[in-house]
Amino acid sequence: MTDSQMIREIKEGNTELYSELMRRYQRKILAFVYHMLKSAQLEQLAEDLCSETFYKAFRSLHSFREVDASFSTWLYTIARNTVLSELRKQRSGNVPLEESGYVPVAPTEVVPEQAVLRSEKVGMVREAINKLPEKQRSALILREYDQLDYQEIASILGQSVSAVKSLLFRARSSVKSQLEPYFYEPVYEHYEGMKSR
C-alpha cells in the first residue's frame, strides 16, 4: 500500500493505519531529529521530539495535500520545525545544556589507541558540523545522512534547488576548512635538520 493510499484511508476514518505509516518513517525521522539536536547537545530529547513530530502530523493530516509535497517531505518539514521550536525554547529559557553522554564505542578487537583516534575524529567532524549555521547544517544532514535529493531538501528548507546546492557547497567547504589543520600531514622536504646530526 502506498503512502497516498494509506493517507486516504486514514482520512476516511481508518486511523489504525497511521501506526503503519509511522513505522515506515520512524527510524529516518528519529535519526534526522537526533542529528539536528547534536549541535545543542540535546540528543536525549530526540525520541520525545520524534513522537511530537508524528503527533503533529497526525493532527494535521486532514490538511496535507499531495500536490504540495510528498508525505515524507511534509514530515521532515514538521520534524525540522519541531526541533527549531525546541531549540528556541531552550535558548530563551536559559536552560543549561547537559552532555548527552554519547561515546562512540569501538569494536573490542581495535587497539585502544586506534579507538581513541577514531573517537577524536568522529568528535571533530561532529563539532565542525555543529558549528555550521542552521540551514547549512540541516541541508548537510538531509543530504549526507538521510540521502535525500536536492528537490526534497529544497521543499523541507523552503529554498530553491540552486540555493540548496549553494548551502551544501558552503557547508562542505566550512567543514573541510575546520578539519584541514587536524588531518593535514606535512611532508618534510629532504628531512631538513636530520642531516646535521
- What Å distances lie between residue 96 and 41, 80, 86, 92, 138, CA to CA? 10, 22, 14, 11, 23
Write down the mean pLDDT value for the chain: 78
Q: Which CATH number is 112-183's, of 1.10.10.10, 3.30.930.10, 3.30.470.20, 3.40.50.2300?
A: 1.10.10.10
Helices 3-11 + 71-92 axis angle, to 10? 70
Please report, in angstroms and rounded to a whole number, the separation of the first and last CA atoms in the chain.
76
* CATH topology match: 1-92 vs 112-183: no
> Which one of 1.10.1040.50, 1.10.1740.10, 3.30.70.2740, 3.40.50.150 gives the CATH number of domain 1-92?
1.10.1740.10
CA–CA distance, 44 with 78 (Å, rounded to integer): 19
**pLDDT tens sequence across 113-147:** 555 666 666 677 777 887 888 888 888 888 887 78
CA distance 184 to 74: 41
CA distance 78 to 142: 14
- The residue extents of the domains of the chain are 1-92, 112-183
User: pTM for this one?
Assistant: 0.65
Local confidence band at 56 (pLDDT 50, 70, 90 cut-offs): very high
Q: In the chain, what percentage of residues exceed pLDDT 70?
A: 76
